[in-house]
Structure 1
Amino acid sequence: MKRRSILALAAGTSAALVLPGSPARAAGTVPYDVTAFTDSQRRELVRYAADTWRSMEALADPTTGLPADNIDGDLGEDSRSAYTSPTNIGCYLWSAIVARKLGFISRQAARERIGKVLDTLASLQRHPYSGMFYNWYDPATGDMLTTWPEDGSPIYPFLSSVDNGWLAAALMVVGNDDPSLRRRANAVRKDMNFAFYYNPDALGEDFGAGQFRGGFWPEEPPGGGVLDNYVGSGPDVWFTGHHYGTHNSETRIIGYVAIALGQVPVEHYFAPARTFADNCDWSWQEMKPVGDFQNYLGIEVFEGAYQYRGLRFVPSWGGSMFEALMPDLFVPEATWGPNSWGRNHPAFVRGQIEHGLAEAGYGHWGFSPASDPHGTYREYGVDPMGLDSAGYTSDKERTTVDYGFAGCPDREPQPEPDHYGDGVVTPHAVFLALPYAPMEAMEQLTRLRADFDIYGTGGFYDAVAVRSATVARRYLALDQGMILGALGNLLGDDVIRSNFCDDRTEHRLRHAIGIEEFNIPADQ
């Protein structure tokens, strides 16, 4: 299907935009609703998707098919970064599926692009005992990097659990999307054992579920690590000192993949914290939560929530949009969990809007890690919406809040800021919000284009500092991949979710997600 065909579909008067050959959508699996948008808005969203795909095409190396991590705004091939990661590769794979679904490339072209990446993945150096991919490769050659291309500093080979989680999720989508690629995608994924990262005793031997480490080094890195091996396959490795211990985080994709593949028990879903407990042992967190304990599948869960500007929600670690909503691109969380994510996702989006428009007074919203218009890359978020007391902040000046922790020493509340500085907004955060605030998101995208020079040949540039109007004129594979994932689900009949959530995945995940009730009012 040519690009003009999908534009014509978007301009039509049918109740939904469903492409020819689309499989029937499982009943009640998605909150995405294209009928919330006017014909003109749908055409605009299609154009955003087509332009964003152009940036992904430019990121891909013609020999290996691997995408670079980033590229300059002019899409010049000489500006492609000389490094890539498993997450970047996953983003490119699912973006190619979206491009095929929306008619920007043919099915055959998508097969060729994806097939080239699968062939390269099959040849990449991996950790032989876990089947996991290293964190950094040269996209032009596929070689594992041991020195950083930009400054020659040493890289100590590392295998990230969350980066491999995103790649495995993409491979699952590829395998279910196109039968002709299923065998090759599964051949790459089948050796990836996420139990290698899973510490069953992270919360104590009697807790009933464990947590995932952030990753490991096969060789001892400077500063050391936790020497262990959870599956007994191969020699011990040096794990990160931390586990991924918070629920509303992009890292929940690891659990979704590992549970779906039968590599860890479903009880793990309840092991990460919603918030930490409301006593002084946890008074380092951003604010004192409200909540109590509930039991699910034998696991005691503190159903804590934060309160901010009249909203109650389960916070992310840093208060950023991609933490809260990137896994939702793959799992229909709000529908499977109407009393948990179905309440939290709209509240989280509303909090970001409240911060940008009312509290900070930027006139814009959408805060998430992105290119730093004043530097290279930085984490942005809404400080009071994150568990970390240091917080991801929304402005260049790192303006924070401290609400204190009532009843605990050394946590008296501090005066709130009387102003915020040069706030940094990233378009991918707005696209992630489309299902939960469709009209507000469309309006924000329009305002961004009207107020700033933020749109190029490859779609929206990565970020803008709104008071100085400083634009980060480059494209990141991760952020463009989130935009295409969101638009693919919206315009392409839920193409990413429907391919990730096959019968096996739904059977293993849906009940656990569905039985939980967050401490959030149903009618806020």
Structure 2
Amino acid sequence: MRKRLVAAVTGALLAAAPAAVATAAPLPTGPTGPTGPAPSGINADLTRADRQELRRWAADTWASFEAMTDETTGLPADNIEGDLDPATRSGYTSPTNIGAYLWSTVAARDIGLISRTEARERMALTLDTLAGMERHEPSGMFYNWYDEATGAKLVEFPGSGEVIHPFVSTVDNGWFAAALMVVRSAEPRLRAQAQDLLDGMNFAFFHNQDARGGDLPGWNRGGFWVDEPPAEQCNVPGNYGDPAGAPLYYTCHHYDLLNSETRIAVYVGIALGQIPQEAYYSLWRTFPDTCDWDWAEQQPIGTTRSYLGIDVYEGTFAYEDLHMVPTWGGSMFEELMPDLFVPEQRWAPDSWGANHPLAVQAHIRHGLDEAGYGYWGFSPASNPFGGYNAYGVDVIGMQSDGYFSDIEGTDVDGGFGDCREGTNPEPEFGDGVVTPHAAFLAIPYAPREAVDNLAGIEDELGAYGPGGFYDSVAVSGTAAERYLSLDQGMILGALGNVLGHDALHRYFARGEVAHVIRPLIGMEEFSSGVF
């Protein structure tokens, strides 16, 4: 059974030691404006034959959603086996899965795989079901697990009978809200339904304003239980959205890193006016470079700059001559999934516009050169040998012991400057595991390399079935022959932007998103670059 992996990132409050300080301009309030042209290089680097191949991959990926989705509720299963037999649907779904289906339906329409009528009817059915599903009413947020065939909140997992203590997840509701924001713009006839669900969602319930002692803007918690969970589940009672309301039981950890998939909830909460804008600059780019933090993967280098009155340590990690802001585990979806919706490269050319291409190049170099797998692209996915695992390029993740890129869990440990000596700086890698959705996310930043990589995964590794690319494949040849809504949603979201005239960007990045988020992220300068 697949469970969401939550990285409990430290909440320590040590301050970064400034190396140099530069002050940013005040936050502008200009017009919303268009999202801008597509990232340069895609059209030039992809041939007509490439686009036909991408369209074929999109059509097969959409077939997996057709097979996963219940015909009476319009809810997708979390996963389905590789033969697309509806009898192998997982029996459960989540807000992220439902969101992935909604934005994938829009992408499929704009690519030309289904008609406008079919897309509208599919989304209308899903929204009708959602309106009647149980949620945490004070916050308007959805619980983590539902039965896709009935829409009922689950209290035990199908098959195993494992007890579920209903949980309200910050990041899952972030992806779901992002999907509603896409739908409301993409299909005017469904705008009222989507907006009604969105209007009920209050991200302030996740945001701990005192996470950093009250001296700096706060952070989001990982989520909360409505009822007190078992004692082994670390929790903190409170209620950030309604201090006078019933207590909620928050995760003990916060989401304190900027470069993570969890930033989607920050973007949405800020855009909706429920989280302060300054919270974006309260998040760590890296932890400080002092020996107090020498448990991290490597010692960062960078400088300190000031934005909205907040000193931000613009630290970076090194991969050969590439210096970039790391993610927690070094995976592609942490880096690039939010970029499916927020056009980060165009809106923030001196931060995300510098970082995303470098992260993609690190994945390419690791897969082709350092580890010698012959393929690249590493993200959490099904384990080809059973279960679920988190894959990444270890050295560009802040976590000291992975995500790893091979089955063996090979840990790269180069030390932490003079503070800690490395124990395994140049390891031998084993059986690498590549995840096709990671390569699709990289298309805007390495189109030629991504298409060639995917063609090899299909033709040479054989990791392809009736629903498109299998969820992952070991380079020794064993594939995880199943499809996950989340990962298929990343593929169709990426192809919606490439083939569907920047579809997800166009629909999501309008109104309050463009007005608030574009100037907010556009002022920052990372220390990322090639040195």
Structure 1 length as normaliser, TM-score? Answer: 0.93
Over the aligned positions, Cα root-mean-square deviation in angstroms equals 1.3
Whether contact under 8 Å (1:318, 1:385) holds in the other structure is yes
Tell me how far apart the structure 2 counterparts of residues 456 and 25 of structure 1 sit (CA, whole Å): 38
Change (3 A) 1:296 1:228: same
Aligned to 2:421, the other structure's residue is in SS state: coil
Whether contact under 8 Å (2:412, 2:427) holds in the other structure is no
1:32 Cα offset (Å): 7.4
Tell me how far apart the structure 2 counterparts of residues 470 and 354 of structure 1 sit (CA, whole Å): 23
Aligned to 1:57, the other structure's residue is in SS state: helix
Whether contact under 8 Å (1:399, 1:417) holds in the other structure is no
Whether contact under 8 Å (1:25, 1:493) holds in the other structure is no
Larger displacement relative to structure 2 (262-271 or 32-41): 32-41
Partner of 1:197: 206
Whether contact under 8 Å (1:401, 1:417) holds in the other structure is yes
- 1:176-227 CA-to-partner distances (Å, cap 9, x unmatched) read 11110000011111111000000111112121x1110000001111124100
Query: Which of 241, 244, 259 is matched with 1:231 structurally?
Result: 241
Partner of 2:3: none
Partner of 2:519: 511
1:370 Cα offset (Å): 0.5
1:26 Cα offset (Å): 4.1
1:452 Cα offset (Å): 1.6
**Is residue 2:352 matched to residue 1:341?**
yes
Aligned to 2:459, the other structure's residue is in SS state: helix
Aligned to 2:237, the other structure's residue is in SS state: strand
**Is residue 2:377 matched to residue 1:377?**
no
Partner of 1:17: none
**Is residue 2:315 matched to residue 1:307?**
no
- 1:255-291 CA-to-partner distances (Å, cap 9, x unmatched) read 1111111111111111110000000121111100001
Tell me how far apart the structure 1 counterparts of residues 38 and 472 of structure 2 sit (CA, whole Å): 32
1:102 Cα offset (Å): 1.4
Partner of 1:351: 362
Whether contact under 8 Å (1:316, 1:385) holds in the other structure is yes
Partner of 1:90: 99
Whether contact under 8 Å (1:321, 1:366) holds in the other structure is yes
What is the percent sequence identity of the aligned residues?
Answer: 56
Partner of 2:156: 147
Tell me how far apart the structure 2 counterparts of residues 199 and 30 of structure 1 sit (CA, whole Å): 36
Query: Which of 474, 479, 484 is matched with 1:476 structurally?
Result: 484
**Residue type at the aligned position of 2:305:** Q
**Is residue 2:227 matched to residue 1:210?**
no
Whether contact under 8 Å (1:32, 1:489) holds in the other structure is no
Aligned to 2:240, the other structure's residue is in SS state: coil
Tell me how far apart the structure 1 counterparts of residues 129 and 39 of structure 2 sit (CA, whole Å): 33
1:310 Cα offset (Å): 1.4
**Residue type at the aligned position of 1:281:** D
Query: Which of 99, 114, 120 is matched with 2:108 structurally?
Result: 99
**Is residue 2:52 matched to residue 1:43?**
yes
Structure 2 length as normaliser, TM-score? Answer: 0.92
**Is residue 2:456 matched to residue 1:447?**
yes
Tell me how far apart the structure 2 counterparts of residues 130 and 389 of structure 1 sit (CA, whole Å): 35
- 1:77-119 CA-to-partner distances (Å, cap 9, x unmatched) read 1011101000000000000001111121111111110000001
Whether contact under 8 Å (1:277, 1:304) holds in the other structure is yes
**Residue type at the aligned position of 1:312:** H
Partner of 1:426: 435
Tell me how far apart the structure 2 counterparts of residues 90 and 183 of structure 1 sit (CA, whole Å): 17
Aligned to 1:273, the other structure's residue is in SS state: coil
Aligned to 1:318, the other structure's residue is in SS state: coil
Higher relative contact order at CA 8 Å, sep ≥6: structure 1 or structure 2?
2
Whether contact under 8 Å (1:288, 1:306) holds in the other structure is yes
Tell me how far apart the structure 2 counterparts of residues 50 and 415 of structure 1 sit (CA, whole Å): 44
Aligned to 1:278, the other structure's residue is in SS state: coil
**Is residue 2:36 matched to residue 1:27?**
yes
**Is residue 2:375 matched to residue 1:367?**
no
Partner of 1:321: 332
Tell me how far apart the structure 2 counterparts of residues 482 and 127 of structure 1 sit (CA, whole Å): 27
Aligned to 1:404, the other structure's residue is in SS state: strand
1:429 Cα offset (Å): 0.3
Tell me how far apart the structure 1 counterparts of residues 35 and 212 of structure 2 sit (CA, whole Å): 36
Runs of 4+ aligned structure 1 residues displaced above 4 Å come to 28-32
**Is residue 2:81 matched to residue 1:78?**
no
Tell me how far apart the structure 2 counterparts of residues 50 and 25 of structure 1 sit (CA, whole Å): 29
Tell me how far apart the structure 2 counterparts of residues 78 and 46 of structure 1 sit (CA, whole Å): 28
Whether contact under 8 Å (2:411, 2:424) holds in the other structure is no
Aligned to 1:93, the other structure's residue is in SS state: helix
1:25 Cα offset (Å): 6.1
Whether contact under 8 Å (2:329, 2:393) holds in the other structure is yes
Gaps in structure 1 of 5+ consecutive residues: 1-23
Taking the TM superposition and a 5 Å limit, the aligned residue runs for 1:167-316 are 167-207=176-216, 209-222=217-230, 223=232, 224-232=234-242, 234-316=245-327
Larger displacement relative to structure 2 (398-407 or 135-144): 398-407
**Is residue 2:172 matched to residue 1:163?**
yes
Tell me how far apart the structure 2 counterparts of residues 508 and 29 of structure 1 sit (CA, whole Å): 21
1:412 Cα offset (Å): 1.2
1:317 Cα offset (Å): 0.2
Aligned to 2:142, the other structure's residue is in SS state: coil
1:503 Cα offset (Å): 2.6
Tell me how far apart the structure 1 counterparts of residues 468 and 215 of structure 2 sit (CA, whole Å): 51
1:254 Cα offset (Å): 0.3
1:407 Cα offset (Å): 3.0
**Residue type at the aligned position of 1:330:** F
Whether contact under 8 Å (1:317, 1:386) holds in the other structure is yes
- 1:370-396 CA-to-partner distances (Å, cap 9, x unmatched) read 010011111000110100001100011
Tell me how far apart the structure 2 counterparts of residues 137 and 353 of structure 1 sit (CA, whole Å): 37
